[in-house]
Amino acid sequence: MNLYNLTAHELLDQIKSGQISAVDVCLAFRKRIVDVDGKVKALVRLTQDAPHDNGCPGLFPIPIAIKDNMCIRDVETTCCSKILKGFRPPYNATVVEKIIEQGGVILGQANMDEFAFGSSCETSCYGPTYNPWDLKCVPGGSSGGSAASVAADEVAWALGSDTGGSIRQPAAFCGIVGLKPTYGRVSRYGLVAFASSLDQIGPLTKDVHDCALLMNIISGYDQRDSTSVNVPVPDYTASLIKDVKGLRIGIPKECFIEGLNPEVETSVRAAIEVLKKTGASVVEVSLPHTKYAVAAYYILATAEASSNLARFDGVRHGLRAQPSTPRKTPIVDMFEETRYRGFGAEAKRRIMLGTYSLSSGYYDAYYLKGQKARTLVKDDFDKAFESVDIIVTPTAPTTAFKVGEKVSDPLSMYLSDIYTIPANLAGIPAMSIPCGFDRNGLPVGLQMVAKPFAEETIFRAAYTYEQNTTWHTKKPVLN
């Protein structure tokens, strides 16, 4: 067993007992990055962070990867887009600040779909990340670099962001744990905005215990994020209870649909049996409007994105371009050429789609209807949670697909988020945990969804399931 194979809580135990030092840990992971990231390509930039050697060792001197859309002071942060190349933020994101305060060691910035637009990590301007379980497959997206770096043991844990499944779907594809917290639970100050009513930062970790530890660090109210909610942060590790007796689990009857890979279905049904055997009661619930969630999401998320991304115009930082022959006025030419050269095809599609649904004459038919459909999706959850504590579904309809398989078909790519999107629309917490493998050895993810600010319920159910199975102990072979 190498140090880099350990979870963060195992490393912390060994550091505290004096068996190893924070420097040993840092060096072991750095070497691991050198050994395997040439194949996985999870990290787009390595940082020079080192653990504090003495004086202030920090409570959590654990190596971490940060998705390339969270600002790190004076370190290039690009959202993996050409338009932000060279941008070095003059401030830290709140989550980055909290990690640093706890002595965390930032080893690198993780690859992602450009501006988090994608489910495969293939739209990054740095090229794709590869799934550690099968290098011909995608790691999922958009936090694909974060998930792959953890699965490949390049870091002990990572941060990602989730707008429609961008933490959970890659966690499922890479066989690790990923949590999208309740909207407002974690400050987004310093997170480059994609869709402000949906975005949330969360942990990607090797097990449920680590997820609780990292949530303890990053959660909490922040005056600098006006959408952060002032609700006390519990000690999430107190919910690591191996017992689900009395817990009511809902299975949506709409979740075993056409298009769901039969092997994923088998694994998820087996996981439900495990929860039943450990004392949970399982009932059927109905979420009749979830089938409209993807459509509503692609109206709302792109509308918000078109507005948020209007700030990338060549005026201040990053790329600025001018066409070789003038077309309109000099300033408009500069805007249009900068955005033409700076954004990739998927970013342009989403900005144009969002602009369309917000434009005069289409606002009521698309944007307003999307918002109303969102209400229906949210009401479905409110109603279901009257009779259950947690809802369990597959995280994704398939296991990891091949690199290149869906790039030319944006719509089929969007449908890989069919199970994860509803939780973003409703603003509720949802976790993906490993629950099996398909016949090709690719991981399957189980999603657990709870009421707003009921992360503790998820931790209890997820911990119980995990401690009764061994999926989280399996490692990809990369040598």
Partner 1 sequence: MNKNDVRYIAGLARIHVPEDELEEFTKNLENIISYVDQLNELNVENIEPTSHVSHLKNVYRPDQVKPSLPQQDALKFAVESYQGSFKVPRVIE
Asked if 331 interacts with partner 1 (CB under 8 A), we say: yes
Q: Does the annotation mark 67 as catalytic?
A: yes
Joined tokens for residue 84: 């932000």
Q: Give me the DSSP letters along 242-257.
A: S--TT-EEEEETTSS-
475 is an interface residue for partner 1 by CB under 8 A? no
DSSP state of 115: G
Q: Check 67, 82, 180, 451 and give the catalytic one.
A: 67
Instruction: Decide if 324 is catalytic.
Output: no
Minimal CA–CA distance to 70: which of 161, 183, 204, 198?
A: 161
Helix, strand, coil percentages for the chain (3-state, nearest 5) = 40, 15, 45
74's tokens: 């004076």
Instruction: Provide, rounded to whole angstroms, the least separation between the CB of residue 409 and partner 1.
Output: 8
Instruction: With both helix axes pointing from N to C terminus, report the angle between 330-342 and 345-358 in degrees, rounded to the nearest 10.
Output: 120
Beta strand 430-437 with 443-449: parallel, antiparallel or unpaired? Answer: antiparallel
- Among the residue ranges 27-35, 83-91, 115-123, 159-167, the one whose residues contact partner 1 (CB under 8 A): 83-91
Distance from C-alpha of 411 to C-alpha of 428, rounded to nearest angstrom: 25
Please, which of residues 365-394 interact with partner 1 by CB under 8 A? 366, 368-376, 378
In the complex, minimum distance from the CB of residue 162 to partner 1, in angstroms, rounded to a whole number: 14
Tokens (6 digits) for 3: 């140090």
Among 179, 215, 299, 384, contact with partner 1 (rule: CB under 8 A): 299
- Three-state secondary-structure class, residue 323: coil
20 vs 321, which CB is nearer to partner 1? 321
Q: Pick between residue 274 and residue 358 the one whose CB is nearest to partner 1.
A: 358
Site string for partner 1, 256-295 (x = CB under 8 A): ---------------------------------x--x-xx
The stretch among 105-113, 252-260, 338-346, 435-443 that binds partner 1 (CB under 8 A) is 338-346
Residue 87 makes contact with partner 1 by CB under 8 A: yes
DSSP assignment letter at 287: -
Stretch that binds partner 1, among 164-172, 259-267, 340-348, 457-465 (CB under 8 A): 340-348
140: alpha, beta or left? (left if phi > 0; alpha if psi -120 to 50): left
Query: In whole angstroms, what is the distance from residue 313 CA to residue 207 CA?
Result: 41
Minimum CB distance to partner 1 smaller for 110 or for 426: 426
CB atoms within 10 A of CB 73: 15
Q: Binder to partner 1 among 353, 388, 400, 448 (CB under 8 A)?
A: 353
The CB density around residue 479, as the number of other CB atoms within 10 Å, is 5
Q: Clarify whether 475 is annotated catalytic.
A: no
Whether 338 contacts 321, CB under 8 Å: yes
Q: Which of 317, 363, 468, 475 binds partner 1 (CB under 8 A)?
A: 317
Through-space distance between the first and last CA atoms of the chain, rounded to whole angstroms: 14
Please, which residue, 32 or 374, has the CB nearer to partner 1? 374
Least distance from partner 1 to the Cβ atom of residue 75, Å? 12
Q: Identify the residue among 352, 402, 404, 440 touching partner 1 (CB under 8 A).
A: 352
109, two tokens? 């910035």
Decide: 410 and 390 in contact? Cβ < 8 Å: no
Q: Which of 54, 329, 470, 479 binds partner 1 (CB under 8 A)?
A: 329
Q: Of 28-36, 210-218, 222-230, 395-403, which part binds partner 1 (CB under 8 A)?
A: 222-230
Query: From the CB of 476, what's the least distance to partner 1, in Å?
Result: 34
Site size for partner 1 (CB under 8 A): 71
List beta partners, residue 401. none
Binding pattern to partner 1, positions 179-218, x when CB under 8 A?
A: ----xx-----------xx---------------------
Report 106-165 residues binding partner 1 (CB under 8 A). Answer: none
The binder of partner 1 chosen from 343, 385, 401, 463 (CB under 8 A): 343
Max CA-CA distance within the chain? Answer: 71
Per DSSP, what are the bridge partners of residue 402?
137
Interface region with partner 1, contact rule CB under 8 A, candidates 52-60, 63-71, 213-221, 314-322:
314-322
In the numeric block, the tokens 């999706």 are attached to 377
Q: Which of 119, 120, 124, 142 is catalytic?
A: 142
340 binds partner 1 (CB under 8 A): yes
Query: Are 169 and 417 in contact, with CB atoms under 8 Å apart?
Result: yes
Q: Which two tokens stand for residue 417?
A: 């988020």
Element (H, E) at 445: strand 443-449
d(CA 112, CA 124): 6
Determine the interface stretch with partner 1 among 25-33, 337-345, 394-402, 459-467 (rule: CB under 8 A).
Answer: 337-345
Site for partner 1 in 45-64 (CB under 8 A): none
- Is residue 337 part of the contact set for partner 1 (CB under 8 A)? yes
Q: Please, which of residues 397-416 interact with partner 1 by CB under 8 A?
A: 410-411, 414
Residues 438-457 that bind partner 1 (CB under 8 A): 452
Q: Which residues are catalytic?
A: 67, 142, 166
